[in-house]
Structure formats: C-alpha cells, structure tokens
Amino acid sequence: MTTELRSTDFVKLIESPEMLDYGVYLKCDKLLSCQKPISTLSTHDEMQFQIVHQVEELWMKLIAFSLTEVMELMPSQRSFKILTLFNRVHLLQKMMIEQLAVLETMSPKDYQEVRLQLGNGSGQESPGFRTLLKMPATLWRLFKEHYLDKDGLSVKQIYDDKYAHDEHYAIAEALIEFDEQFQIFRWRHLFLINRSIGISAKSLKGRPVDLLKKGASQRFFPELWDVRSEMTDSWGGEYGVKRASISGNS
Ligand code: HEM
C-alpha cells in the first residue's frame, strides 16, 4: 500500500524530483531550479510570474533561432522550407499572446507583492524581445534582395500588377503576419497591464505605461502595409470614392 503524500511532501517533490534519463537529457534539474526556492517566494503568485516570463523567453529564443534559418534560406529562395519555418514562428507568436492570460489570474494586490521583488527591472530589458526587435531589418533586406530585386519585382507588382499568388506573395504575407502578431502581442500585453496595475500607472522605471502604445503601433514592414491602402485608393479611384447605395436608403 502506498502512503498518501501531503502537500508539504509534494513541495519537496516539486523542488527535488528524481532525474531519470528524460530529465537528464532535458536538464530538468537546472530548468526547475531557475525559479526562486518555494520557501523564499513573496507570494504563491510569484512562481507563476517567473514561469510565464521564462516560458515566453524560451519561445522567443525559438522564434529568433527559426528566423535565423529563414535568413540563411532566403538567398537560395528555399520558399517551401521558409514558409514552414514562418508557420512555426506564427504559431509560437500566437501561443505567446495566449499565454499572457495566465497572468491575469493574479490579483492586482498579489502582483504588488511580486512587484516589490523586481528592482526597477522592465520587460523592455527582455533579452528575447530585444533580439527579435533587431531581426526585421535583416529579414526585409534579404527579402528585398532575393525576392524583389533579383526577380525584378516591386511590392506593388507582387500584390497587384503581376499578382500571381506565388512564392513572392506568400513570403511577403508571412512577413506581414510576423509583423501583425508582434503588434498583437504588444496590444494584448497592454490589456494585461491594464488588469494588473492600470494603464495610467507609472512603470517601475517611473515612465507612464501609456508610452507603450507607441511601440504597439510600430510597423516592421511599412511597405507591405502601405501597398494595401495605395491599391485600395487606386482601385477606389476607378469606381469612385463614394459608391452608390445598394439599398437606396443610404
Ligand atoms: C503582470 C504582468 C505584467 C505587467 C504588470 C507588466 C508590465 C510592464 C510594464 C509597466 C512595461 C513598461 C516598462 C517600462 O516602461 O519600463 C512592460 C514592458 C514590457 N513587458 Fe511586461 N508586464 C507583465 C508581463 C509581461 C510578460 C508575461 C511578458 C512576456 C514576455 C512581458 C514582456 C514585456 C515586454 C517585451 C515589454 C516591452 C514592450 C515594448 O517595448 O513594447 N511582460 N511590462
């Protein structure tokens, strides 16, 4: 008969689990000691605060690494592989966005306990986020060199004049999807802040949180966004800016 364990026994088990081959290969001993020891947590919620941030850092590491492979494949136009990698990146970005909701299970009052532990640390110092912010410039240069200039194409031609829905178009759309998901992450994160500390509060660096809205409006690939409005306005010019009502009532 096995003895029933108590919550204190589980706490020991959580902190010092037995390492079999699986745990050794994945370095679970190191991974599971990357969080504060349970006895030193300021509040139970501090564990989830650390884990959610650490998981997000891991996803950003994988996103950045996948994008380095995209960069290596662009010169040889390995489009199918590039699209598979972008699909992975987009799925990871969506997971990152969804996972922010976990932290909304922490009350504003519990977060205040955690906040006291952070010094003046800020998400703007996130190593993964800072690496990702540097990548769009390289991605755009490579796309321009190997999918536009090499084939004598412009963005407008891919989307309109020579529209073929081919790999040039598909990769441009993969880039804009990356851009869009990045912005969605930033906006979703603003809602998380709104739930935890309120949007008009000051950050730990004393800056108004509202300033984050500026970053959330940043576009990595403006040419891919602008071409849409240009096309819509030019098509609109063909049938008139204001169209006739189809109901006859408006
Ligand atoms: C309760 C949860 C959270 C709160 C209250 C919070 C709060 C904040 C605040 C106030 C800032 C602005 C920093 C400044 O002005 O110095 C910030 C930035 C940031 N945070 Fe969070 N955050 C939370 C969770 C997260 C999570 C889970 C991530 C995951 C990666 C994250 C990533 C970031 C990033 C990347 C920035 C910089 C954003 C940009 O520059 O657009 N935060 N956060």
Question: Ligand 1 centroid to 189 CA: how many Å?
Answer: 7
In this prediction, residue 208 carries a pLDDT of 80
In this prediction, residue 241 carries a pLDDT of 61
Query: 241 in a domain, yes or no?
Result: no
Question: Ligand 1 centroid to 84 CA: how many Å?
Answer: 29
| Per-residue pLDDT tens digits for 18-75 | 999 999 999 999 999 999 999 999 999 999 999 999 999 999 999 999 999 999 999 9
Whether residue 126 has its Cβ less than 6 Å from ligand 1: yes
Closest protein CA for atom 18 of ligand 1: 123
- d(Cα 215, Cα 185) in Å, to the nearest integer? 11
Token look-up 């020579």 returns 162
Query: 24 in a domain, yes or no?
Result: no
Query: 167 in a domain, yes or no?
Result: yes
Domain of 57, in residue numbers: 40-110+125-230
In this model, does residue 206 exceed pLDDT 80? no
- d(Cα 230, Cα 237) in Å, to the nearest integer? 11
In this prediction, residue 1 has a pLDDT band, given cuts at 50, 70 and 90, of low
| Per-residue pLDDT tens digits for 124-133 | 999 999 999 9
Q: What is the mean pLDDT of residues 84-99?
A: 98
Residues in the chain: 250
Query: 81 in a domain, yes or no?
Result: yes
Query: 119 in a domain, yes or no?
Result: no
Give which of 64, 179, 42, 52 is closest to 115, Cα–Cα: 42
Domain count, the chain: 1
pTM given for the model: 0.94
| Number of C-beta neighbours around residue 212 at 10 A | 18
- d(Cα 102, Cα 121) in Å, to the nearest integer? 20
In this model, does residue 199 exceed pLDDT 90? no
In this prediction, residue 207 carries a pLDDT of 76
Query: 115 in a domain, yes or no?
Result: no
- Phi–psi pair at 202, nearest 5 degrees: -100, 145
Ramachandran quadrant class, 34 (left: phi over 0; alpha: psi -120 to 50; beta: rest): alpha
* Choice from 46, 102, 189 to test ligand 1 binding pocket (greatest atom count within 8 A of CB): 189
Measured in whole angstroms, the distance separating CA 96 from the mean position of its chain's CA atoms is: 6
In this model, does residue 82 exceed pLDDT 90? yes
Query: 15 in a domain, yes or no?
Result: no
Whether residue 52 has its Cβ less than 6 Å from ligand 1: yes
Whether residue 168 has its Cβ less than 6 Å from ligand 1: no
**CATH code at 134?**
1.20.58.480
Structure tokens at 136: 């769009």
Query: 8 in a domain, yes or no?
Result: no
- Phi–psi pair at 208, nearest 5 degrees: -65, 130
